[in-house]
Amino acid sequence: MTKKWNLQDIRPAEPRRPKPSNIPTTDMRSESYRTESESVEELPSITIEDGNKKSKNRLVLSVVLFVIIVGVAIGLSAFMGKTELTIYPEFRQPNVSAEFTAYPDKRSDSLSYEIMTLEATGESQVQASGQIQVEEQTIGIIEIIKTTPGAERLIKNTRFRSPEGLVFRIQESVVVPGAVSDGSGASVPGTIQAEVFAEEAGEEYNLPAGTEFDIPGFSEGGFTELYNAISARNPNQFTGGFSGPQFQIDEGELSTARQALQIELRDNLLTRIDKEKPAEFVAFRDAVAITYNQLPAVEYGQDLVTIKEQAILQIPLFQEIELGSFIAEETVATYDGGDVRIDDASLLTFSYTNPTTSASVIANEPALEFRLTGKPLLIWEYDAEKLTTDIAGLPKTAINNAITEYGGIRAAKVHITPFWQRTFPEDNEEIVVIEELKELQ
């Protein structure tokens, strides 16, 4: 038979915990309340944000920043934009080895030149052995000018007179070329240089550069037209005139001193060529002709004498475009008559056909014969300023038609920034022209 249990008969496995005594119930609840309240106050606060609103603000800010950056970039591009026009001109580098003849006056289908004259004076001290009486005549070079057409021959010893009445004579006969008309129809006087000497000895004949001369013989003979048409002037000071005692110097010592002085003067004159020649002219160093004149010696101290030497350098100058075009015509089979310049004339070697020419007064020569050898770079000319004026304000594709009017241009390339700019600037000075030599395929 199964035993029945009453609830009272069921006991916990562990004894009950005795109730605390003497602790007011109300105090415990208050302490528990305070503890819980303090715990709640110490918890961090939590902010709940609207995620959709935040994403929208970020999007707006990003768009604004993008617009600002793009605007600044466009502004800088427009401000710093540039237009570059690269020109590819015609060019050739022919082998040159030929003899040429050039003339001091302009002639059709011929090469011309101008004479540049440089002068320098130096001195040195040497030992003297005594004095002698010396009578020396002034010598120099004059440029004879004729303002009317037709050449005129002047015989040897023709007289030229200064405003003070001092008379000089030419050493050799010369033919003065007549005036010619240039491309604009203006009259260009004919000129030629001649060496002269003073009719008498004396320092008063050492006239300054730029002195004007006439030919008294024309006036005396009644040739009024020739007297008015032909005159002369000296481009450099006359020197060498002297009358009086002069110191004697040992010939060997004098020769050595003068030779050293001449070398010094020559080197000085050669360094002046490139500095003093006119722009756009070519000068070949080997084309120089130098003459030396002994000037009167003066006392320097006891038994010492100062010797003086004058050197006169003359060199033909060739206009760069004329020389380049002439060489192109002689050496380039396809040359069609355009202007051509020589990029570096030092690539050509110059030599006179007659070796004695370099020791003569080349200003008196009716023509110069010489030989040129080398491989110069010839570049066809074009008017860059006119080209940029023609295309200013036009679409950049207009360059293709524009260069067809310029025979010296093979091709052209345009680079414009900013990239969206499709026209040339209105101001042609804002177009930068770059020249590039390149074989095009």
Confidence of residue 194 (pLDDT cuts 50, 70, 90): very high
Average pLDDT of span 73-90 = 72
pLDDT at 30 over 50: no
What was the pLDDT predicted at 67?
Answer: 67
Cβ–Cβ < 8 Å for 332, 94: yes
Domain check: are 161 and 242 in the same one?
yes
In-domain check, residue 25: no
In-domain check, residue 268: yes
Residue 410 belongs to domain spanning: 79-90+380-435
**Separation CA 314–CA 350 (nearest Å):** 15
In-domain check, residue 148: yes
What was the pLDDT predicted at 118?
Answer: 93
Q: Are strands 82-89 and 431-435 parallel, antiparallel or unpaired?
A: parallel
Domain check: are 233 and 130 in the same one?
yes
Domain check: are 396 and 357 in the same one?
no
Domain check: are 231 and 277 in the same one?
yes
Closest CA to 237 of 115, 104, 117, 359: 117
In-domain check, residue 65: no
Domain check: are 147 and 286 in the same one?
yes
In-domain check, residue 56: no
Domain check: are 260 and 342 in the same one?
yes
- Which one of 326, 345, 376 terminates a domain? 376
Tens-digit pLDDT profile for residues 304-362:
888 889 999 999 999 999 999 999 999 999 898 889 999 999 999 999 999 888 888 88
Query: What residues pair up with 365 in beta bridges, in sequence order?
Result: none
In-domain check, residue 225: yes
Closest CA to 319 of 100, 99, 113: 113
Single pTM value for the model: 0.58
- Which one of 327, 344, 376 terminates a domain? 376
Confidence of residue 14 (pLDDT cuts 50, 70, 90): low
Domain check: are 399 and 273 in the same one?
no
- Which one of 376, 404, 427 terminates a domain? 376
In-domain check, residue 291: yes
Tens-digit pLDDT profile for residues 169-182:
999 999 999 999 88
In sequence order, which residues have a C-beta less than 8 Å from that of residue 240 and are 6 or more positions away? Answer: 136, 137, 138, 139, 140, 206, 293, 294, 295, 296, 310
Strands (E) across 205-288 are located at 212-213, 230-233, 242-249, 281-282
